[in-house]
């Protein structure tokens, strides 16, 4: 099932050049709107699953919009974005019915993880069990013993390829073929950079090293991914 996600953000550059393309890299298709009035018009025709809402909109306060959305649609996912970092604002956002409250500049990985977790709630799925490593959300999230992390398109392809090998080493060529959109344009060093960044991000988010190791002269191996 495809999620209908709407992003209401009046900063065109941030919305169209940063948030939508970067969320697309994390597997989310997001419609972009620039005002509360545009959201009202859209909602007259269709109800999104999740609304990502800037607090500072030109024609309304995001808090008021959130309160109105929550009153009408108790199950809708609401994520608020704001440049304001003060605690009272954070509490207020949650009081108005938001499920999550993220500060600008938005960490895309955190936003993606929040969207995955809301999507699971909307689909009535249980939170992942707290042991072992597993791919969730059709491969777009990795859950580890101490937490979970949203994956980009390349990271997802890499981990799916390694997971299919079920603990056997996978050669560099095969990994590159899995990861690259065009193998001939792909600098082989990018594979190592991708692995390096993925390991670091997983260690940060999950509090434990991903069991992904280099096999000298061959490629990489991923052990114990369920
Ligand atoms: Ca704004």
What's the CATH code of the domain at 193?
1.10.10.10
**C-alpha of residue 11 to centroid of ligand 1, in Å:** 6
Name the nearest CA neighbour of 84 among 64, 109, 63, 110. Answer: 63
Ligand 1 centroid, distance to 3 Cα (angstroms): 24
Predicted local distance difference test score (pLDDT) of residue 16: 98
Residue 86 has pLDDT above 60, yes or no: no
In a domain, residue 164? The reply is yes
pLDDT of the residue at 48: 95
Evaluate if residue 90 carries a pLDDT over 80: no
Looking at the structure, do residues 187 and 83 belong to the same domain, yes or no? Answer: no
Residue 129 in domain: no
Are residue 25 and residue 117 in the same domain, yes or no? yes
For residue 147, pLDDT over 80 is answered with: yes
- pLDDT (0 to 100) of residue 82: 83
Rounded distance, CA 67 to CA 166, Å?
47
Q: Radius of gyration over alpha carbons of the chain, in Å?
A: 19
Counted domains in the chain: 2
68 and 106 inside one domain: yes
Residue 1 scores a pLDDT above 70: no
pLDDT given at position 125: 78
| Within a domain: 54 | yes
pTM: 0.85
- The whole-number pLDDT of residue 217 equals 86
Edge to edge, the sheet with strand 219-222 lists: 170-171, 219-222, 212-215
Quote the ligand 1 centre to 27 CA distance (angstroms). 24
pLDDT single digits (tens) 99-145: 998 988 999 999 999 999 999 988 887 766 656 899 999 999 999 88
On whether both 191 and 116 belong to a single domain, the answer is: no
The per-residue pLDDT of the chain, averaged, comes to: 90
pLDDT of 94 higher than 80: no
CB 118 within 8 A of CB 79: yes
Q: Is 30 a member of any domain?
A: yes
What is residue 20's predicted lDDT score, i.e. its pLDDT? 97
Q: On the CB side of 103, how many CA atoms lie within 13 Å of its CA?
A: 7
Structural domain containing residue 69? 5-122
Distance 14 CA to ligand 1 centre (A): 10
Alpha carbon of 57 to ligand 1 centroid (Å): 5
Q: Which pLDDT tens digit goes with each residue over 25-66?
A: 999 999 999 999 999 999 999 999 999 999 999 999 998 999
Neighbours of 186 (CB within 10 A): 14
Using the predicted structure, report yes or no on whether residue 226 has a pLDDT greater than 80.
no
Distance 121 CA to ligand 1 centre (A): 28
- Ligand 1 centroid – CA 70 distance (Å): 20
Instruction: Tell me the pLDDT tens digit for each residue of 171-198.
Output: 999 999 999 999 999 999 999 999 999 9
Residue 153 has pLDDT above 70, yes or no: yes
Residue 146's pLDDT is what?
Answer: 83
């Amino acid at each position: 099932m495809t999620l209908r996600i709407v992003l209401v953000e009046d900063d065109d550059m941030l919305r169209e050049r940063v948030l939508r393309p970067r969320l697309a890299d994390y597997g989310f298709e997001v419609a972009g709107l620039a005002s509360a009035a545009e959201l009202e018009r859209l909602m007259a025709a269709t109800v999104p699953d999740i609304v990502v809402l800037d607090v500072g909109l030109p024609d309304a306060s995001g808090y008021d919009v959130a309160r109105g959305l929550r009153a009408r649609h108790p199950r809708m996912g609401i994520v608020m974005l704001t440049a304001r970092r003060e605690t009272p604002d954070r509490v207020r956002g949650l009081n108005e019915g938001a499920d999550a409250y993220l500060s600008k500049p938005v960490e895309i990985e955190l936003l993606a993880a929040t969207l995955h977790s809301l999507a699971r709630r909307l689909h009535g799925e249980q939170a992942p069990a707290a042991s072992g490593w597993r791919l969730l959300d059709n491969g777009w999230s990795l859950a580890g013993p101490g937490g979970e992390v949203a994956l980009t398109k390349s990271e997802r392809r890499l981990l799916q390829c390694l997971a299919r090998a079920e603990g056997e080493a996978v050669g560099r060529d095969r990994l590159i073929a899995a990861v690259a959109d065009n193998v001939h344009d792909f600098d082989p060093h990018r594979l190592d950079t991708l692995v390096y960044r993925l390991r670091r991000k997983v260690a940060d988010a999950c509090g434990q090293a991903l069991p992904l190791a280099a096999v000298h002269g061959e490629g990489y191996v991923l052990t114990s991914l369920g």
